[in-house]
Amino acid sequence: MDLGLNGKRALVLGASRGLGKAIAQSLLAEGATVFVAARSLDKIEAWAEGMDAVHPVKMDLSDLAQVDDLVNKLLGEGGVDVIVNNSGGPPPGTALAAERCAWISHFEAMAANLFHLTTRLLPPMQERKWGRVISITSSGVEQPIPNLALSNGIRSVVVGWSKSLANEVAGDGITVNVVMPGRIHTERVDELDAAAAKRTQKDIAEVAKASRATIPAGRYGKPEEFADVVTFLASDRAGYVTGSRIRIDGGAIKSI
Options 41, 53, 62, 112; binder of ligand NAD; rule CB under 6 A? 62
Smallest gap from Cβ 243 to ligand NAD, in A, equals 20
Task: Tell me whether residue 151 or residue 169 sits nearer to ligand NAD (CB atom).
Answer: 151
Confirm or reject binding of residue 16 to ligand NAD (CB under 6 A).
yes
Options 9, 55, 106, 183; binder of ligand NAD; rule CB under 6 A? 183
Confirm or reject binding of residue 87 to ligand NAD (CB under 6 A).
yes
Task: Tell me whether residue 21 or residue 130 sits nearer to ligand NAD (CB atom).
Answer: 21
Count, residues near ligand NAD per rule CB under 6 A: 26
**Where in 192-251 is the site for ligand NAD (CB under 6 A)?**
none
Options 176, 189, 227, 233; binder of ligand NAD; rule CB under 6 A? 189
Q: What is the DSSP string of the chain?
A: ---S-TT-EEEESS-SSHHHHHHHHHHHHTT-EEEEEES-HHHHHHHHTT-TTEEEEE--TT-HHHHHHHHHHHHHTT--SEEEE--PPPPPB-TTT--HHHHHHHHIIIIIHHHHHHHHHHHHHHHHT-EEEEEE--GGGTSPPTTBHHHHHHHHHHHHHHHHHHHHHGGGTEEEEEEEE-SB-SHHHHHHHHHHHHHHT--HHHHHHHHHHTSTTSSPBPHHHHHHHHHHHHSGGGTT--S-EEEESTT-S---
- Kindly compute the dihedral angle of the four CA atoms of residues 177, 181, 186, 190, in this order, to the nearest 10 degrees: 140
Task: Tell me whether residue 176 or residue 215 sits nearer to ligand NAD (CB atom).
Answer: 215
Contact between residue 108 and residue 158 where contact means Cβ atoms under 8 Å apart: no
Beta bridge partners of 226: none
Task: Tell me whether residue 169 or residue 184 sits nearer to ligand NAD (CB atom).
Answer: 184
User: What span, in angstroms and rounded, lies between the C-alpha atoms of 233 and 132?
Assistant: 8
Smallest gap from Cβ 254 to ligand NAD, in A, equals 16
Confirm or reject binding of residue 162 to ligand NAD (CB under 6 A).
no
Stretches 12-20, 93-101, 163-171, 232-240: which one binds ligand NAD (CB under 6 A)? 12-20
Confirm or reject binding of residue 134 to ligand NAD (CB under 6 A).
no
**Where in 32-51 is the site for ligand NAD (CB under 6 A)?**
38-39
Smallest gap from Cβ 209 to ligand NAD, in A, equals 16
Smallest gap from Cβ 123 to ligand NAD, in A, equals 23
Which residues lie near ligand NAD (CB under 6 A)? 14-20, 38-39, 60-62, 86-89, 109, 136, 138, 181, 183-184, 186-189
